[in-house]
Structure 1
């Protein structure tokens, strides 16, 4: 059985390393030009070089997104940029427009090209066409069913790889081709500066009563009539693998370290468990629990099973039951003291969960908190990126993440 690649988002060098450490086979990042996440911490050439080395030293791959739809002025210098990526050693570029394909073939003919989901490929003839143009991998449109994906795979030329999204945010528009943000705020979704206007809270206004706002009731949390659910296929790994796709892609280059670590860990373990022993495979609730801990909208299975109506919401708000409160910098086994980089507020005496690669969650208690900068005891770590120390009986490791559940107050 062909084991598919687990492909993770990396919005920064730190998150790239986390993705690889937690089991990703490859990461995708944004460079300085022509990618659809203008507000993420896109990589400089120096950071990219370090990230490539980190991946290649561990036998992993790195792809760079160039998936905007360029205007004439965007094409200036694109060949030099692509040649620079090739010289740095990137494993592939992800593109959406024929102009970038043509530029890549001219500037770096040996550079692998992947076709973005933005190109909305929905049939096998299209995969054959793009493969003949020199594209090695097709990222299929999110709107396809598993049955359609299987049929595409059966009719796709040997050597052409298929990739599908299995987790993350979904767009209200077909394959992300949305003009709402551009129309309302002049921020073009297809240039990487989407305002997520579909997530806004909306009211009705009658034209002769300009200051009277009528609510459009959806639920008690508000009115988010275009807000899609999040995709989650962690419970359906066997079906995805059987479809024959080469890569399982996790969305989220603008998500935090907790999101990257949790999703990669869950999908890595599930894919390995199924591919290593298909007949004895059993789904583990801990994989679903892991992705339920991260900030998310209500989950669903997208279009994979043909339930086209599930894009709409019945619970409009984000689910944020857990926060990352710290990342372990070091641990002294003699003193049982951990040095922590603060990520969210945490108190002395709190019990937290530890998220570690290739290890089930476990709990520890944070005792005797000490503020390193102020050189004094404290009962709370409440400054951004504060370095603090705590006594922890269970040995911790560098890069362990400390996760804290939010308390629900009963009224």
Structure 2
């Protein structure tokens, strides 16, 4: 993971996924230059089998014997009580496994890993949301060795990132694998629905479900809290409570589909255009939940494409191999700016695996399959689609010829209907099994790690002293200008007995605010900044700074790069809630960057949220009410119109709104922790914010608490 230098080979590494030992061995057998894995803890793919320390030690030794590299993903958000466990795990990795690098999301892990004695490279995951050129400079200043680029970039933007990349920093790019509809690190959908956070590797993929448009019922909302006009960019809703006069709960109607279920990213032969991108040191294949067949075939295909970029025969062979890899249908997404493709295909199959056939019901009521291809002993099938609760996976126990008959033994509660699709999701072809057997023998020949090294190291990271709470003004955050000074006066009076600061999302329109109000406004930077937006945003910040603005809220730690390195005494930079800050080590990093205070992640449960102020080196704030987005996406959505409500299979209602280059997905029930405000103040929180957003007209009223994970758990 060292930075690109004249001595660095011109060709990028092929970086393979491995969620278990057979997949790791398949990566080595296929000739991968590097393999990335996860452990039983702190992995953003907790649904994969993952590895224990002893097993990974032997696998890493085997890889190093072959001159291959191993990277370990510790890429989850770390909760307040987990810094010690993260330190001990990093210390064990450094002492026993000696991987070549760690993949991290939480900025606190930069310092934790170094304190634990880890001297390898540190790569910032896509979950860290390093999305624009200036952010690369800040990432390098904080000690990152590599940045993993977001999947939403075009080839032109990737080249811009490469050109801006500082010396000593590598770039890594996904070329194959699953796409999330929402921006990595900016999806709270699974967490908002029940505490299973994508930032913690527990996502239940609500984006894969079938959603339906709502049939309109009742009239337009009435009353003082009704929207002033359809699609109004902002409006007061009052402490996050549903506005008066909403329409009664509607029923699903109109079109339905998997509107947010993406196909797999598959750049294929287009990777030839990446060979001259500066600092792009790694082509990454996603798939730590996939089997050895997928790993072997994708690695083989991309090695061909990298090593023979001008050979039409190699290109054709690689394309044929990718079609056999058992992923989802492929898409180029936004890679080609002149012809972007919709990532989601509501009317098409986006299930993983190869369609092997459809269920037939026998006269006796049993299930059988007449496959479209030969099935081999050890193959794995999935009956149904992943998001259907009853779907089942089962092994093939005997060879079944094409168009032969395979009787399926399924649980009674999982009995499918006739016509239910069956997918081949993993193959066990004899030649690959033979290869894996040879590599397994080499692995088994390695000695087990000494037993005395199995005890975890004692101790934990050094953390800064916490600060005493100092009250700060609250913020009332809106999306538009409103009525200028009157809007600021309303904000100031919104919390009785407490001064409040008007806050605005920074945009070309809001940046035109009267100069007399610029310095009294808190300016919130977007949760995601794309390369094409950076220059305009930088100009807006510079102009506001010259006009006296000093109160800014950065929504990623890397947005610190928009401001002078030496901040004047009157500067007031805050880390926003989209920074996903949840532990004292991350707060220490923010303090070192010059942030004066920080919002905590709204994902935290009650116990975690109340524990953090006593550990924090910065004053802490929290978003207590308003419409919090369950996800932010760069992809288009032609099938659903913005501001039109839609419903999940469980009756949950959502709506979308486009801001600049991103689509925001909102739940129909707002976040409302206003009743917990006193408890948070007593724990040491210094300030609070309300996020105002006008919901669409006719949005049905849902009587559901907006407590996020407060009374639950962040798994």
Alignment TM-score > 0.5, same fold: yes
Contact in 2 for aligned 1:177/1:189 (Cα 8 Å): no
1:56 aligns with 2:56: no
Within-5 A mapping of 1:82-231: 82-87=90-95, 88-204=97-213, 213-214=252-253, 216-217=255-256, 223-231=257-265
Match for residue 349 of structure 2?
A: 316
Q: Distance in 2 between matches of 1:94 and 1:201?
A: 33
Higher RCO (C-alpha 8 Å, min separation 6): 2
Which of 35, 38, 47 is the aligned partner of 1:30?
Answer: 38
Match for residue 344 of structure 1?
A: 396
Superposed displacement of residue 159, structure 1: 2.7
Contact in 2 for aligned 1:114/1:135 (Cα 8 Å): yes
Contact in 2 for aligned 1:11/1:29 (Cα 8 Å): yes
Contact in 1 for aligned 2:30/2:299 (Cα 8 Å): yes
Superposed displacement of residue 169, structure 1: 0.6
Q: Distance in 1 between matches of 2:290 and 2:193?
A: 25
1:292 aligns with 2:292: no
Moved over 4 A (4+): 204-213, 280-283, 379-383, 394-397
Q: Distance in 1 between matches of 2:15 and 2:395?
A: 25
Within-5 A mapping of 1:347-358: 347=399, 350=401
How far does the alpha carbon of each residue in 1:4-27 deviate from its partner, in whole angstroms, 9 at most, with x for none? 000010000111011111111111
Superposed displacement of residue 195, structure 1: 0.5
Give the match's secondary structure for 2:193: helix
Q: Distance in 2 between matches of 1:94 and 1:35?
A: 9
Superposed displacement of residue 202, structure 1: 2.3
Superposed displacement of residue 212, structure 1: 5.7
Match for residue 304 of structure 2?
A: 269
RMSD over aligned CA atoms reads 3.2
Structure 2: unaligned runs, 5 residues or longer: 1-8, 219-247, 357-372, 380-393, 410-428, 438-715
Normalization by structure 2: what TM-score?
0.44
Sort the Cα spacing of 1:325 and 1:75 in 2 relative to 1 into closer, same or farther, 3 A: farther
Contact in 2 for aligned 1:27/1:63 (Cα 8 Å): yes
How far does the alpha carbon of each residue in 1:177-235 deviate from its partner, in whole angstroms, 9 at most, with x for none? 21221222331111111101110122356689979643624xxxxx1011112100112
Structure 1: unaligned runs, 5 residues or longer: 218-222, 329-341, 352-378, 384-391, 402-411
Count how many residue pairs are aligned between Structure 1 and Structure 2: 344
1:71 aligns with 2:122: no
The structure having more radius of gyration, on CA atoms, is 2
Superposed displacement of residue 262, structure 1: 1.2
Sort the Cα spacing of 1:345 and 1:211 in 2 relative to 1 into closer, same or farther, 3 A: farther
Contact in 2 for aligned 1:327/1:399 (Cα 8 Å): no
Match for residue 358 of structure 1?
A: none
Match for residue 537 of structure 2?
A: none
Superposed displacement of residue 395, structure 1: 8.8
Contact in 2 for aligned 1:224/1:316 (Cα 8 Å): no
1:253 aligns with 2:292: no
Sort the Cα spacing of 1:316 and 1:381 in 2 relative to 1 into closer, same or farther, 3 A: closer
Normalization by structure 1: what TM-score?
0.75
Give the match's secondary structure for 1:226: coil
Match for residue 376 of structure 2?
A: 325
Which of 38, 53, 60 is the aligned partner of 1:45?
Answer: 53
Superposed displacement of residue 65, structure 1: 0.5
Q: Which moved more, 1:124-133 or 1:202-211?
A: 202-211
How far does the alpha carbon of each residue in 1:249-305 deviate from its partner, in whole angstroms, 9 at most, with x for none? 00010012221111111111221112xxx5x56553221122212333321112221
Contact in 1 for aligned 2:261/2:350 (Cα 8 Å): no
How far does the alpha carbon of each residue in 1:3-59 deviate from its partner, in whole angstroms, 9 at most, with x for none? 100001000011101111111111111112211111111101111112111211111
Give the match's secondary structure for 1:311: coil
Q: Distance in 2 between matches of 1:178 and 1:172?
A: 9
Q: Distance in 1 between matches of 2:34 and 2:250?
A: 52
Sort the Cα spacing of 1:397 and 1:127 in 2 relative to 1 into closer, same or farther, 3 A: same
Sort the Cα spacing of 1:295 and 1:210 in 2 relative to 1 into closer, same or farther, 3 A: farther
Which of 227, 240, 243 is the aligned partner of 2:277?
Answer: 243
